[in-house]
Structure 1
Amino acid sequence: MAGHTRNTGGGGSARRTFLTGAGVGAAAAALGLPATGRAAAEPGAPATVAVLGGGVAGLTAAHELAERGFAVTVYERRALGGKARSMDVPDSARGGRRPLPAEHGFRFIPGIYHNLPDTMRRIPFPGNAHGVWDNLVAPPEMSFARTGREDLRAPLPWPGHRGAQLTLDEIRRALTALLETASNIPPHEVAYFVGRLVVFLTSCAERRDDTWESLPWWDFTGADRMSDDYRRILAVGVTRNIVATKAEEASTRTVASLLEAFVFNALGRGADGPLDRILDAPTNEAWIDPWTDHLTSLGVEFRIGWTVREVTYGSGRVTGVVAEDPGGARRTVTAEHYISAMPVEHARRTWGPALRAADPQLARCDALRTDWMTGIQFYLTESAPLLRGHLNLVDSPWSLTAIQQAEHWPGRDFAADYGDGTAVNCLSVDISEWDKEGVLYGRTAKQCTRDQVAREVWAQLKAALNDTGRTVLKDSALHSWYLDPGVSGLGTPHPVNDDELLIHPVGTLHNRPTARTLVPNFYLSGDYVSVDIDLATMEGANASARQAVNALLDRVGSAAPRCTVTPLFEAPELAPLRRHDRLRYRLGLRNVFDLG
């Protein structure tokens, strides 16, 4: 059995289902394994694993383990998919339609990802040769939306892209924005920024992990002595709006590594696909539901509504997990192995003093910081004349990013499929700054009520998009809105966000744990675990789960193939320069291109 529970506080015992032999046999055959590999604790019995958390990390771990013949049970307190899931807007369905689709925040699966796309290819989807991976579509453009000025519109070229179809007026506006930005960022500032990127590109790993991990992006780019446009686009635009970290404290290593990966992605180097990719339907329809169906066919069991309270430790091992079942009864879950796949702010609460003492890296996780980056959706009765892609509203006080979704869902008629038939599109917006005053109420987002947050975001959207003689967003077209239900207590002294995001101030790298712990049957998985992509992402969650499974396979001496973990692309032509920089670093010298 994949796990055992005993009642420690009342309530009935959980129903158990045995591993589906046919599903596991098929997966094992695909991997070239016997049905149970050599992972079983005794002949003929698959080893049991309790996966704590059903987000991307937990589902990935369950997927890799089930394909290798383990008996897996996933314990999830809320809903499978975690922060990646889509959800229904309550009481919004009419006339046989589905409820309006909502989400914690819009999904973004760039071509720099390799591990997550590999998993997506292995999730069957009707009519798709490459599984749910074929549900990815590539927006042809993106924009830095400026307040009071024309928006800077950027095409996202990729072989096979037809590109966005533009009107004469849109072409005029795009050229105006390009020339405005070019004239407002002096040439010497552009040259300086490019020079700083060259320094990072040619820096060895030791310099990145030490010097650049310790230096804020703001200081690395010299933002305090540059023009406003330089700061807005090149310092703030790639930090607060994308990774929810303030440029003044964000690790240069984290930000520059991301930029490096995106630059090579745009050049078609080492990429899984286009720079910008999104799903062609609500996340659960396009990805999460097919995934959980596939895992069920492999014998994975799910316990939804189970809240992990403590990972218990004794005699050098994890002895069980104390969890509350959906009825509130406390139970002890037991298995041979345990993978903690919860977000760090939830996981570290479950690690008691004895477990922390067994592996010091668990205590270091207390130093990891999280912040708010939360989504709100606006449903429209008229599609807004926006570009086909993501908007980065770099001048908005609350650091908004957005995308209008229906035009990217070619298999869906939004009005016919969702809601009451009058909403034709969904403008999905991420709010990255919750501690600065807005433009309507003079309050931070945390100080506003939910209704005030919606009004404030709508006002900031209009300020950025209705500012140059066009009415892009109409009040009359606003059907309704939905704010992530993980946020509560807004407008009170103690607001709560159940779904915070790991941020990356300087020094974060050195507090991120490895997937393998010193406890022989306990492993870590999640976007806070140390992996090659130094950013809180679904890719990081997926890669960490693969590393956790590999550590488990090593521990039990399994003959099963190890999970492939693909690192970020490194340009081979830069390798000699990085080797040279390693020598300079060890001699205490600056990078040869670092002119200050």
Structure 2
Amino acid sequence: MTSPHAHAGPHAHRATSGPSGVTRRRVLYGTAAAGAATVLPAAAHAATGRGRRTVAVLGGGMAGLAAAHELVERGFAVTVFERRALGGKARSIPVEGTGSGGRRDLPGEHGFRFFPGFYRHVPDTMRRIPFPGNSAGVHDNLIALSSTRISRNAGRSDIIVPQLPASGGGLDLDVLKETLTGLVQQAAAIPASELALFVDRYLVYLTSSAERRLGEWEHVPWWKFVRAEGRSGDYRAIVARFLTRGLVAVKEEVASTRTVGAMGEAFLLAGLGLGADGGLARMLDAPTNEAWIDPWVRHLRDRGVRFEVGQAVEALETGGGRVRSVRVVDAAGRRRSAAADWFVCAVPVDRAWTLLSPDVLALDPGLATMRNLRTEWVNGLQFFLRRSPRGLDQEVNFMDSPWQITAVLQSRLWDRDFSRDYGDGQVADCLSLDVSDWDTPGILYGKPAKKCTRAQIAKECWAQMKDHLEDTGRSVLPDDLVHSWFLDPAITWRPSDGSNANDEPLMVNTVGSWANRPGARTRIPNLFMAGDYVRTNVDLATMEGANESGRAAVNALLDAAGSPAERVPVWKLYQPPELDGLKRLDAQRYRSGLPNLFETVPG
């Protein structure tokens, strides 16, 4: 099925929440700026900032880089302050000292990069980042995810989404057999009455108005919405647990139905080709830094962005009802103040909390609600393999794993020869994991990941994958396959209390969290917020949400500055017009205190 808007251009379904009209003044300004950049590109790129309004972007992750990109394109002098490494949670992390013989260090990651088809902001930015040989910049480094396995344990058949050959040659019959068997098993495992219940609940969400989604479903946990209490184990595992911990990394008892439902809807529509930039999902064809982050930083430097890496933002210094400067500190403890006209706070939420001093809150008391936001852990682990395992697909979801593990086999995605390009020549592949549940006891040590040493985490993850892939007696992951492993260095073991700390947690969408999240514009006239915790249309702590928030911060800054520059495009999640009538009816029913028309199961 093809949406009538699927080819409507990059700005289709743009949000109307901010200024999006094109005035004559903006057209003239943009034309003049484009002409000047064409005639005098060297002068434009060599500007030192004298006479230009300055912006300090605090944080060099997804939100900060997106904001810097849009600001420098609109003529601002931009400096980005980053405490650790550019790219934030999306960066690659080289495993130091592992490269030899002219090879690069093995490529570790905070977690593998996954780009759902409904992402619009990140792909738009990627198209504007030059990459040698690519007509659409780094966007051309995205490849369609064509093979996914939903793996079950205890001898149950896996569900496989097989690769469809472009030549139309046909399917692998063994794969097709296992897929059909798995689908039948899943359907049979859940009683018919519970399948009907889930269909009913899904229809309720799909036909709910925006008013009901924000006013009611924002405050209802997904567990309660799908009526999981007292249902079968498979219903709870698939409908309640997997769709929350496995897909949006938040526990089903506290996950906002508004967020989980919106993500399920977005995936469904993208699979149907509606409101999607590409297919159902895509991934990069190389380590993130090589395919995306490094070219992005080079491009921004070429445009004039200054990067101050190793400078942690310690405080916002106020005066005269505004932010005067920021105090930054380096690894040696040296402190200094940096002034600017405008400030975009794009540090993660756990870092932003530390900036909410009494002076800052006196200027905008509403920012205090950010302290009510909740974080969880989603971190990566890579197994570097001596040879590529047989029978593994591009991406595997280990549905019944206590730690809600998902993994990708990089040889199926990356255009790289591992033994030639990385490490000591003995590594042929990489199995890259995301671990989404750090609080549930594992199967080897009976402890949650937060209570396991780094070595125990690696052994536990390996065992949980084998529990799924080798439950029918076949050998998929023999132990001698492992050359080495690498756990995200944000995870650090504390022997004093026998637990881990996490330097880079993730904000999660719990019930009622929307009210506690800041908007892009604050009551402080020259301070703007960006980050995956800021209110966005995508409403999920993701790369997409971070990018959208950076754009929203820039639009708010442009408004405050009275800039004639063209506003940054912002998209809403696609909503099928075929459901508009039912949603209008639901809005009336909601205002009248009545349930959704499809609500057949009492709460």
Partner of 2:188: 183
Shift in CA distance, 374/345, structure 1 to aligned 2, threshold 3 Å: same
The one-letter amino acid of 1:274's match is: G
Partner of 1:585: 590
Q: Percent identity?
A: 52
Q: Which runs of 5+ in 1 are unaligned?
A: 1-23, 37-42
Partner of 2:410: 405
| Displacement of 1:170 | 3.1
Equivalent pairs, count: 565
**Structure 2 residue 326 is the aligned partner of structure 1 residue 330:** no
Identify the match of residue 427 of structure 1 among 431, 437, 441: 431
**Structure 2 residue 445 is the aligned partner of structure 1 residue 441:** yes
CA contact (8 A) 1:115 1:566 kept: yes
Shift in CA distance, 379/29, structure 1 to aligned 2, threshold 3 Å: farther
CA contact (8 A) 1:445 1:453 kept: yes
Partner of 1:417: 421
Q: Alignment partner of 1:376: what SS?
A: strand
Using the alignment, how far apart are the partners of 1:506 and 1:161 within structure 2? 43
Shift in CA distance, 29/552, structure 1 to aligned 2, threshold 3 Å: farther
| Displacement of 1:63 | 0.3
Superposed, 1:156-175 pairs within 5 Å as 167-175=172-180
Identify the match of residue 247 of structure 2 among 238, 242, 247: 242
Using the alignment, how far apart are the partners of 1:31 and 1:186 within structure 2? 65
| Displacement of 1:255 | 0.2
Identify the match of residue 129 of structure 1 among 130, 135, 151: 135
Shift in CA distance, 368/521, structure 1 to aligned 2, threshold 3 Å: same
Shift in CA distance, 496/25, structure 1 to aligned 2, threshold 3 Å: farther
Shift in CA distance, 25/508, structure 1 to aligned 2, threshold 3 Å: same
Superposed, 1:132-281 pairs within 5 Å as 132-155=138-161, 167-281=172-286
CA contact (8 A) 2:162 2:171 kept: no
Identify the match of residue 99 of structure 1 among 93, 96, 105: 105
CA contact (8 A) 1:448 1:490 kept: no
Q: What's the TM-score once normalised by structure 2's chain length?
A: 0.90
**Structure 2 residue 394 is the aligned partner of structure 1 residue 389:** yes
Identify the match of residue 357 of structure 1 among 338, 355, 362: 362
Shift in CA distance, 68/475, structure 1 to aligned 2, threshold 3 Å: same
Using the alignment, how far apart are the partners of 1:87 and 1:118 within structure 2? 25
Using the alignment, how far apart are the partners of 1:208 and 1:325 within structure 2? 44
Shift in CA distance, 371/434, structure 1 to aligned 2, threshold 3 Å: same
Q: Alignment partner of 2:155: what SS?
A: coil
Q: Alignment partner of 2:325: what SS?
A: strand
| Displacement of 1:156 | 7.3
| Displacement of 1:393 | 1.0
Q: Alignment partner of 2:115: what SS?
A: coil
The one-letter amino acid of 1:479's match is: H
Partner of 2:4: none
Shift in CA distance, 568/473, structure 1 to aligned 2, threshold 3 Å: same
| Displacement of 1:195 | 1.3
Partner of 1:4: none
Deviations 1:22-43 (A, max 9, x none): xx9998559999999xxxxxx9
Partner of 1:467: 471
Partner of 2:554: 549
Identify the match of residue 50 of structure 1 among 48, 51, 56: 56
| Displacement of 1:186 | 2.0
| Displacement of 1:436 | 1.7
Superposed, 1:486-525 pairs within 5 Å as 486-490=490-494, 492-493=496-497, 495-525=500-530
Using the alignment, how far apart are the partners of 2:217 and 2:38 within structure 1? 44
| Displacement of 1:540 | 0.4
Using the alignment, how far apart are the partners of 1:398 and 1:539 within structure 2? 24
CA contact (8 A) 1:212 1:252 kept: yes
The one-letter amino acid of 1:457's match is: C
Using the alignment, how far apart are the partners of 2:272 and 2:460 within structure 1? 38
| Displacement of 1:176 | 2.1
Partner of 1:452: 456
Q: Alignment partner of 1:235: what SS?
A: helix
| Displacement of 1:372 | 0.9
Using the alignment, how far apart are the partners of 1:47 and 1:165 within structure 2? 59
| Displacement of 1:559 | 0.6
| Displacement of 1:442 | 1.8
Identify the match of residue 79 of structure 2 among 62, 73, 88: 73
Using the alignment, how far apart are the partners of 1:500 and 1:492 within structure 2? 21
Shift in CA distance, 439/450, structure 1 to aligned 2, threshold 3 Å: same
Q: Which runs of 5+ in 2 are unaligned?
A: 1-29, 43-48
**Structure 2 residue 347 is the aligned partner of structure 1 residue 342:** yes
Deviations 1:375-404 (A, max 9, x none): 100011111124433211121111111111
